[in-house]
Structure 1
Amino acid sequence: MRAFNGLLKKDLNLMKFWWMVWLVFMFLGMIGVYALSVYSSEPSIIVPFLMTIAAFQVFLAPLSVLTVLNIEGKTQLWLYNPQSSIKLLLSKISSAAIIQLIAQIFVSLYALFVMKVLLNNGLIDSFNGFMPFKNGFLMQLGIFGASMYISIWCIFLWSVYHSLGKYPTIRSFRWIAVILVCFAYNALEVLLTKTRLFKNELFSFGVSINIAPRMSYQEQNGWAILQTDAHIPIMTICLYIVLSLIFFLLASWLLDRKVEV
């Protein structure tokens, strides 16, 4: 456990710079958009900005993981690390997850500020009128899950790319292999969704919740906040969790083969 904590601390330090840059830009954007809303007397324009930065949080963890992988890729530190590849990669995923959670908490606090502004201006009757706590939590959970899924894909594709570096004949064309892997996976996914198995009610089972307000402009009333329902397929989410585990183990297996850069 002490060794893993050491890996976790190291990866967090490597991610810290870009994470701080990310937060600073978000904070400056929040101030700028709020100032614009006050200047234009349109308090509702801060809602699209809130939803935009919330959506962009999906890319924070993947970018953090790629940053660390590229740094270690240049030094080939994993070649000389006695820890297992699973621990090495799990440390990176864990570090990215911590950073992701902190950033999403920061966005959630901003969402409370946005709702307070809307409430003070009479655009909503209560916080629940904008987004109930349960729906907000599910939206943040969805963003976190998508971010972790993309992060694992980044690790897997990075491992595929660098594992081909030991073959001189295809070393210069490794990026084509990465594209082919993505294309083959997407093609297989499309084919499977058309099969009778995936059209079964089991895979369509889910819940419909209001997870994202949207803006609508009306000539008489100006900008208005509307609610959007989304269908959440439970079994499909479970399937993606299993796929994430498979891709993570495949990446660990490739790393055990001492990939070269």
Structure 2
Amino acid sequence: MFQGLLKKDFLLIKTYLWIWLAGVVLLYAAGASFASYRDRFDLVFPFLIALFAGHAVILPITAAILLKAEEKGQYWLHGTAGGKKLLSSKLLISAVVTIASLFVTNVLTLFSLWVSEFEDYSIWPHGEFPLFEGVLFNGGVLFGALYFAIWGLFLWALFHSMSQYPGLKRFRWIIIIAVYFITQTIITRIAEWSAVKTFLQSSSFQVGSPESNIGQFDGVRFTMSSGEFLVWPVILSIVGLCLLFFAAGWLLDRKVEV
């Protein structure tokens, strides 16, 4: 049954996937053409940075498209799959779309580095290409996208669950916005407590070299400095997102109509 859900969601999003990947290539081609016209191919990298930043919304947008299709058909009202399976399918397919797009963007980035003759590894920490840092960067982009997508799933389920209560129905958007911002405010306030700060910073590991590295490419000087990767904030964020996901599934299991 779960495989059927995955197949259904992939078929729904497949056309959008090819359109988006074509858009990535076209945007890169536009940046590469501009850089070639200026006879400075390194100018393509701001376009690539914009592409990487855009992936923070690709996963939520993909999930939103699938949820919109779910609204039209109200499939969960007539299907036997639980809410968690239904939402898991959408989250997995959205993640696949995002990973595919990240893969294409990374390939284009490596190609740009090669064309720009960016092969003087002396500018990198310890003279090595920062592969681990690159993987960590892509993981951070994907995690940020998952954060927004899971929050979207929860707020979507909460929004439609309130349709059962006529007194709340006309105020649903206000309640949804209030739930998100009040939750974020509470989390921010708690994180500012000294005891909580100490706990959150109690476990970490160094990413890259502990020393700053000054590099130069095509007359442009830049400084690369590493930082500490805090473990507890990531773990607690994962726990919080799991709770949100299960809450969304529970709300959906109530067979609310939209």
Q: Do the aligned residues in 2 keep the contact of 1:115 with 1:127 (CA within 8 Å)? A: no
Q: Do the aligned residues in 1 keep the contact of 2:200 with 2:230 (CA within 8 Å)? A: no
**Partner residue of 1:100 out of 98, 101, 113:** 98
Percent pairwise identity: 30
AA of the residue aligned to 1:87:
K
CA distance in 1, matches of 2:136, 2:30: 28
Secondary structure of the 2:167 match is coil
Distance 1:87 1:133, change over 3 A: same
Q: Deviations over 1:214-240 (max 9, x none)?
A: xxxx9xx75445435344311100000
Q: 1:213 — aligned with what?
A: none
Structure 1 range deviating more: 249-258 or 230-239: 230-239
Shift of 1:42: 1.6
Q: 1:43 — aligned with what?
A: 41
Q: 2:63 — aligned with what?
A: 65
Q: 1:260 — aligned with what?
A: 257
Structure 1 range deviating more: 226-235 or 32-41: 226-235
Q: 1:184 — aligned with what?
A: 182
CA distance in 1, matches of 2:29, 2:112: 12
AA of the residue aligned to 2:143:
G
CA distance in 2, matches of 1:127, 1:111: 19
Shift of 1:116: 0.5
Q: 1:214 — aligned with what?
A: none
Q: CA RMSD in A?
A: 2.2
Distance 1:20 1:204, change over 3 A: farther
Q: 1:125 — aligned with what?
A: 120
CA distance in 2, matches of 1:227, 1:69: 41
Secondary structure of the 2:255 match is coil
Q: 2:76 — aligned with what?
A: 78
Q: Do the aligned residues in 2 keep the contact of 1:207 with 1:232 (CA within 8 Å)? A: yes
Distance 1:127 1:113, change over 3 A: farther
Secondary structure of the 1:30 match is helix
Q: Do the aligned residues in 1 keep the contact of 2:31 with 2:44 (CA within 8 Å)? A: yes
CA distance in 1, matches of 2:86, 2:133: 35
Q: Do the aligned residues in 2 keep the contact of 1:33 with 1:46 (CA within 8 Å)? A: yes
Q: Do the aligned residues in 1 keep the contact of 2:9 with 2:93 (CA within 8 Å)? A: yes
- Are 1:111 and 2:106 counterparts? no
Distance 1:87 1:199, change over 3 A: same
CA distance in 2, matches of 1:248, 1:35: 43
Q: Do the aligned residues in 1 keep the contact of 2:5 with 2:86 (CA within 8 Å)? A: yes
Q: 1:148 — aligned with what?
A: 146
Q: 2:212 — aligned with what?
A: none
Q: Give the unaligned 5+ runs of structure 1.
A: 211-217
Shift of 1:131: 5.2
Shift of 1:128: 7.4
Q: 2:50 — aligned with what?
A: 52
Q: 2:213 — aligned with what?
A: none
CA distance in 1, matches of 2:223, 2:45: 11
CA distance in 2, matches of 1:236, 1:155: 22
Secondary structure of the 1:41 match is coil
CA distance in 2, matches of 1:82, 1:127: 59
Q: Do the aligned residues in 2 keep the contact of 1:44 with 1:223 (CA within 8 Å)? A: no
Q: 1:91 — aligned with what?
A: 89
CA distance in 2, matches of 1:33, 1:186: 37
Q: Deviations over 1:65-84 (max 9, x none)?
A: 11111111122111101111
Distance 1:127 1:12, change over 3 A: farther
Shift of 1:204: 5.1
CA distance in 2, matches of 1:14, 1:225: 44
Q: 1:14 — aligned with what?
A: 12
AA of the residue aligned to 1:182:
Y
Give the structure-1-normalised TM-score. Answer: 0.87
